[in-house]
Amino acid sequence: MTSSSQTSRGSWGSKIAFIFAASGSAIGLGSIWRFPLMVGLNGGAIFVFVYILAVFFIGFPVMLAELTIGRHTQRNPVGAFKAIKPGTPWKLVGYMGVLTGIFILSYYSVVAGWAFGYFYKTLFGVFRGEVTWELSDRIFSTFAANPLEVLFCLFIIIGLTTFVISKGVKGGIERWSKILMPLLFALIIFLAIRALTLTGAGEGLAFYLKPDLTKLNPKVFFFAVGQAFFSLSLGMGTMMTYGSYISKRDNLVSSAGWVCFSTTLVAFLAGIIIFPTLSATNNLQGLKVGTGLMFQVFPLIISKLPGGYLFGLLFFVLLLVAALTSTISLLEVPTAFLVDEHNWPREKAAIFVGALSFLLGIPSALSNGAVTWATQANIMMKMDLIFGNIMLAVGGLFITLFLAYSWGITRALQEISFGNKSFRLKPLWIFNIKFLAPLAIILILVFIRILTQQ
């Protein structure tokens, strides 16, 4: 980040620097681990289709809304609502975002810990030679059920994230991620091509890309919208915080567009790897999709490459970096809140939130086979349902309502006009922010309430 003439707060060096940083937050386990899981649980291609619509009609408008509010107020989410509408309950939306961030960080770090575990397992040669589904499945189940090992991995991830945030060395990570993220992208394309050229890939590809309309139901919409919010880091003020560093010279619309596009592309490619690999290894039919899906499948495809050991190592390092750039953005929101609004020293704030997330993450860490009650209660998936789907969608709903009916579209458009002279999607954006996005989210939440009561 370089300082600019704007304020002492500083701004991203350029539009490209912002796109990289925001994509670093967005692209992570949400696209590579969670998206294929959601596709597997929600009927395959029909989910992919609804997800892409959700990104375009809800995710993109909400991202532009968050960036606009962030750049206008130059504050953390709580401060942003306070700045525009002082003395009103709108600040509660900011508080909700702060809390949601802490809870998401708790279980997200468990999965990031798995990526760390897979990195050292690959390093020690656990996946050398031909890897079958049975072997891969056994390695994952044994690992996820080992309480000490998963807690150790969780500790490492939260410790690293806390260190980066407390020392304010985020800039360094961002510089590194500028090199590593494109490398991850290249590797994913390469793996996707390998998966598509496996014999028997066709059936998996059809499951992934040929929609079966009979599988369409309100749950597909609910999870697709939740996935759009989760993967784009929306609904809890992360993008507001990132937007607060964008310069007035930069174009918010195209920046939002690029972040949505790159994230969706990575998620799409992750699915292209997972499902064809599953059918090519005869594991698609009758598959019980669970939280380990990505970790069970990637070793299979990596073992089908010459030099698989090195590719495996590279993949899990890059996955770890992608996960860390997201955990950093998750921890940044509550930390910035304590620093800006309560004058806490940065280090104390980061350690406090980090420690809290670690404690909250313990039940999720133990809910994949390590402890019976936690596993039976499916704690990790429940946390994900409540915070990753519902709370982000509720947050997104309030952000659209705030922008459209409290702050006002005209003022938002004025902010957007800095750095952007021709906003061609303007009528569509206004319609989506005022009507489509809030109505769709309300309908989805009501439906889900009815469905879960039945």
- Give the binding site for ligand PFF (CB under 6 A): 25-26, 28-31, 101, 104, 230-231, 233, 236, 238, 326, 329-330
CB of 329 to ligand PFF, least distance (A): 5
CB of 116 to ligand PFF, least distance (A): 15
DSSP letter string over 348-375? Answer: HHHHHHHHHHHHHHHHHHTTTTTSHHHH
Indicate the residue among 122 and 238 with the shorter CB distance to ligand PFF: 238
Q: In the numeric block, which tokens belong to residue 320?
A: 């770890």
CA pair distance 114, 136, nearest whole angstrom = 14
Q: Please name the residues in contact with 152: beta carbons below 8 A apart, sequence gap of 6 or more.
A: 113
CB of 182 to ligand PFF, least distance (A): 17
Indicate the residue among 109 and 277 with the shorter CB distance to ligand PFF: 109
CA-CA-CA-CA dihedral for 147, 148, 149, 155, to nearest 10: 110
Indicate the residue among 173 and 284 with the shorter CB distance to ligand PFF: 173
CA pair distance 89, 105, nearest whole angstrom = 25
Indicate the residue among 96 and 205 with the shorter CB distance to ligand PFF: 96
Are 333 and 241 within 8 A, CB to CB? yes
CA pair distance 402, 85, nearest whole angstrom = 10
CB of 76 to ligand PFF, least distance (A): 13
Count other Cβ atoms within 10 Å, centred on residue 7.
10
CA pair distance 291, 279, nearest whole angstrom = 19
Indicate the residue among 119 and 127 with the shorter CB distance to ligand PFF: 119
Q: Distance between the two ends of the chain, CA-based, in angstroms?
A: 51
Indicate the residue among 107 and 143 with the shorter CB distance to ligand PFF: 107
Tell me which residue has tokens 């809304």.
65
Indicate the residue among 326 and 400 with the shorter CB distance to ligand PFF: 326
Indicate the residue among 139 and 320 with the shorter CB distance to ligand PFF: 320
Q: In the numeric block, which tokens belong to residue 388?
A: 């990753």
> How buried is 89 (Cβ within 10 angstroms: 0-12 exposed, 13-18 middle, 19+ buried)?
exposed
CB of 70 to ligand PFF, least distance (A): 13
Indicate the residue among 192 and 391 with the shorter CB distance to ligand PFF: 391
CB of 29 to ligand PFF, least distance (A): 5
Q: What is residue 11's three-state secondary structure?
A: strand
Residue 286 Rama label (left phi>0; alpha psi -120 to 50; beta): left
Q: State which residue has the least CB distance to ligand PFF.
A: 30
Beta bridge partners of 11: 2
CB of 362 to ligand PFF, least distance (A): 20
CB of 213 to ligand PFF, least distance (A): 28
CB of 236 to ligand PFF, least distance (A): 5
CB of 174 to ligand PFF, least distance (A): 15
Are 204 and 284 within 8 A, CB to CB? yes
Indicate the residue among 40 and 369 with the shorter CB distance to ligand PFF: 40
Phi, psi of 200 (to 5 degrees): 90, 10
Indicate the residue among 326 and 432 with the shorter CB distance to ligand PFF: 326
Phi, psi of 2 (to 5 degrees): -115, 155
The residue type of 238 is T
Phi, psi of 133 (to 5 degrees): -60, -45
CA pair distance 52, 141, nearest whole angstrom = 32
Indicate the residue among 278 and 319 with the shorter CB distance to ligand PFF: 319
Alpha helices in 232-307 (DSSP H): 238-243, 252-280, 293-302
CB of 224 to ligand PFF, least distance (A): 14
Beta bridge partners of 341: none
CB of 320 to ligand PFF, least distance (A): 12
